[in-house]
């Protein structure tokens, strides 16, 4: 997966195959991200466990489930203190069960396409009551006081492709 083993609080973006991966690629394309190579993100919690947003809600899964899957890791690219790592993993645990929202991709695309949306759309994207995987990663970091993006984007306005660009 990575030359340096991930530490608790690190995140990864991975490629997803199958129908869900195709749907996410389409969502990212509609959002102006093109057909990115990575469609999914998760937060590593340590002890072979990760938290990821899934259609059935955010859940804990074994990291070993991604053995052999191409991944880009934040390890060594985003410096974190031990306290920040602990806060990120605590935040991740607090979002266990949070519903997934394909509608967030449509909302993100509407913003990118400059469709008239206003405050209701902004509130919809920003809410933590439903999140796509990349929003979940970003929110865990924000809850720990770590801001991954400095471009003044709306809260929640992050796709897996945005995380990949951050790691380049």
HSE (CB half, 13 Å, CA atoms) of 58?
29
pLDDT for 51? 98
The pLDDT-based confidence of 13 (bands split at 50, 70, 90) is very high
* Weakest-pLDDT range from 2-11, 72-81, 115-124, 132-141: 115-124
What is the rounded distance in angstroms from the CA atom of residue 12 to the CA atom of residue 70?
A: 10
The pLDDT-based confidence of 123 (bands split at 50, 70, 90) is confident
pTM of the model: 0.86
pLDDT for 103? 77
Share of the chain above pLDDT 70, in %: 84
26 or 154: which leads in pLDDT: 154
Question: What's phi and psi for 32, nearest 5 deg?
Answer: 90, 10
Residue 138 DSSP class: H
Is 74:1 a contact under the CB 8 Å cutoff? no
Q: pLDDT per residue over 127-138, tens digit each? A: 778 898 999 999
Sheet holding 71-73, edge to edge: 59-62, 49-52, 40-46, 11-14, 71-73
Round the average pLDDT of the chain to a whole number and report it.
Answer: 86
pLDDT at 53 over 80: yes
Class in CATH terms, 11-167: alpha beta
CA 49 from chain centre, in angstroms, equals: 16
Per-domain residue ranges for the chain? Answer: 11-167
pLDDT at 2 over 60: no
């Amino acid at each position: 997966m990575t030359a340096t083993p991930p530490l608790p609080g690190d995140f990864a973006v991975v490629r997803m195959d199958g129908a869900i991966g195709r749907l996410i690629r389409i969502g990212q394309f509609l959002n102006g991200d093109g057909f990115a190579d990575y469609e999914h993100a998760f937060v590593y919690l340590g002890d072979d466990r990760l938290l990821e947003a899934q259609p059935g809600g955010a859940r804990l899964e074994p990291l070993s489930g991604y053995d052999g899957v191409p991944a880009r890791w934040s390890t060594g690219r985003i410096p974190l203190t031990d306290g920040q790592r602990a806060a990120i993993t605590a935040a991740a645990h607090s979002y266990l069960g949070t519903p997934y929202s394909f509608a967030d991709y449509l909302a993100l695309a509407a913003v990118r396409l400059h469709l008239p949306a206003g405050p209701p759309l902004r509130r919809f994207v920003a809410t933590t009551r439903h999140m796509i995987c990349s929003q979940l990663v970003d929110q865990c970091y924000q809850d720990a006081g770590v801001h991954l993006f400095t471009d003044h984007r709306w809260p929640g306005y992050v796709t897996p492709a945005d995380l990949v660009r951050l790691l380049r």
